[in-house]
Structure 1
């Protein structure tokens, strides 16, 4: 199960199926307020988003599952993992978190979601996560901005419950030149699991995965080889 970054969608993972073993089923979360869910209101909080994901996963609890989340998606994946354990006793085969500081690390006081439209788009573009055509076309920008702003607000206002840990093994991925996430803060995910923890960095910035997808998928697949396959 894959969880996208702020402003992202399920389409962010369209390249992954061709890189996965045939017996691995890829599912990607489509947050409301974009693409085929454009007419639905955006989520207003991390709690609401994680609750909705957990409810939607009910039909898949009869098989092993692993989560991968990037940036905002890492936090959503973590919160959904905790809820699965509490509500259903289901522990993930693995939790992969990418491009996000551990929940226990304090977040920046900067509030990007309060910037005006042009400033917000420029900030996200500087991280490499905004398509050039969106910046060049005001019409496209107006389409993506509501979901983008809502997601950034969730990411910036999220505060994890202190002391919570998942029973799933956790691997944290980090872009070596990510200016928004320090390596030490990514490694601090080790405090959020009672199982094994691993860390790996890749060349690149916050969106290193756009250029390192085959390496990333190969690493995740190798770490899941002992599992009876995942969704």
Structure 2
């Protein structure tokens, strides 16, 4: 229980609703790198994050992350497994395809013609530090619950089912994810399915119950 509480708190330090607003994703990322707390953890594995100049590097020594692929298909080192990237918790595809600009030309067109899209893409409340390989594997898959064990990334407890296009995040990241979806709904009118809404509501209730139980210890 103690380990779970510490992991939950470690994840939570990465998120607080911020009044900072940006209109470019690149500018938002530079701001986040500059202001990242020393105790920040990667969202899906809870790895410590080291700063090397302007780069962020995951430290797998405590979190137990092992890359799913150490090499790319071309035989080169999988550099995305060695760096921290900024993950859109609500994927750009998910909020973008609800806008007309996406229908007219995808993400590139939305960046060009839609101020709303640029603001949504650069909203730091929807961004979290994630190991690049997992950011890539998550893609625009929806969140859900999976029956298989979490073995793809060493001791990292995230699960990705590529066939079903579903990602199950570790327990300590679920409230963060649910709160972010609620924020995007309230701020931008994001539409999500009833199934997803029920899942996020359940995650928030479970997190509240776990916190209440922990406070009684």
What's the TM-score, normalizing by structure 1?
0.32
Higher helix share: 2
What's the TM-score, normalizing by structure 2?
0.33
